[in-house]
Amino acid sequence: MTSIEPNLPVRVGVLHHHPLVALGLRAILTAQDGIQLQASGSLPQLQAWCDVMVCDLETGIAATRDRSNMGMLGASARVLVHTESASDFHVRHALSVGIHGYVVPGTSAAELLQGVRAVAAGQRYLSAAVAHRLAESLSYAALTPRESDVLTGLSGGQCNKLIARHLGISVTTVKAHVNAIMKKMSVESRTQAVSVAAQRGLVRIPSVRAHHSSVPSGAR
C-alpha cells in the first residue's frame, strides 16, 4: 500500500512473541483515533489485512521477507518492530531488510502512536533512544566486514594465529586489521576493543539466554 487516505483509519495488527508486550501494545493501540486494531491472527492473515504490523524483531524480519517476496502481487503491511535489542548490529540489519519502524522499551505511548502513523504514511521511524544510538554509531568509523570478522575472532579469545587460520589470511594481515580496528574504535588494547564491541553491540555475540548452559567454544 503506497498511500493512506487521510480519513481512513490505519489498520494495525500486533504480533509479538512476548505476551505482556503484545497485551500492552493492544491496550495502547485500541480505541485510538484513526487507528483500527485488528483481531489477532497469523502472520499472513495480518499482513493481508493491515497497513502496519507491530511485531518483535524476528517476526518483523520474517514479515518484511514475505513483503518483498510478494512484490507487486498485493498490498502488504509495513512493519514496526518493538524489541529490546538496540545494538548497532540489529538496528542496521532491521533497516537493511526493509523494516520501517524500530522502537525499544522505554518508548512512550505517544511515541508509539507517532511511530505507527509515520510508518503507515511510508516514513521510517526510530524511537528517540534508537535514533540516539544510531547517531552515536555514526560518530565513529564503521568497521569493514573483514574487520568485523577479525573482531568476532578476538571476542572469542582467539590469538592472531588462530584468527589468521580461520579466515585464511596471513598473520600480518590480521595484525593490520587489529590495528585498524583499535584506531577506529579509539582504544589502546585488544581487550578494550572486545569490551567496547560488546558494549556497542558491534559483533554478534551468541545469545546467552538462548543457550544458557553453553560456554564459548574455545573455553571447553
Partner 1 sequence: MQHINAADRHHIRVQHADAVIAAGLIEAFAREPSLTAVDGCAEAADLIVCDFTTGLALSQSARSVDGSLRPARVLVLTGQDREYSVRQALQSGVHGYLLTDATLDELLDATRTVLQGRRFVSPQLAARMADSMTREALTAREIQVLEQLATGDGNREVARRLGIATGTVKTHVNAIMTKLAVTSRTHAVSVAAQRGLVDLSQRILH
CB of 33 to partner 1, least distance (A): 17
Pick out residues in 161-200 that bind partner 1 (CB under 8 A): 186-196, 198-199
Pick out residues in 103-142 that bind partner 1 (CB under 8 A): 105-109, 112
Q: Does 7 bind partner 1 (CB under 8 A)?
A: no
Long-range contact set of residues 111-114: C-beta below 8 Å, sequence gap at least 24: 112/25, 112/28, 112/29, 112/82, 113/28, 113/29, 113/32, 113/35
Nearer of residues 16 and 78 to partner 1, judged by Cβ: 16
Nearer of residues 122 and 206 to partner 1, judged by Cβ: 206
Q: How far is CA 30 from the centre of its chain?
A: 26
Site string for partner 1, 83-102 (x = CB under 8 A): -x------------------
Query: What b/e string do you get for 140-172 counting C-beta neighbours within 10 Å, with b at 16 or more?
Result: eeebeeebbbbbbbbbbebebeebbeebebeee
Which amino acid is residue 20, in one-letter code?
A: L
Pick out residues in 17-76 that bind partner 1 (CB under 8 A): 17-28
Residue 10 CA to residue 120 CA, distance in Å, equals 7
Nearer of residues 2 and 213 to partner 1, judged by Cβ: 213
Nearer of residues 72 and 208 to partner 1, judged by Cβ: 208
Nearer of residues 8 and 109 to partner 1, judged by Cβ: 109
| 12: its cell numbers | 494495525
For 161, the 3-state DSSP assignment is: helix
CB of 116 to partner 1, least distance (A): 12
**Chain residues in the site for partner 1 (CB under 8 A):** 17-28, 82, 84, 105-109, 112, 154-159, 186-196, 198-199, 205-206, 208-209, 212-213, 215-216, 218-220
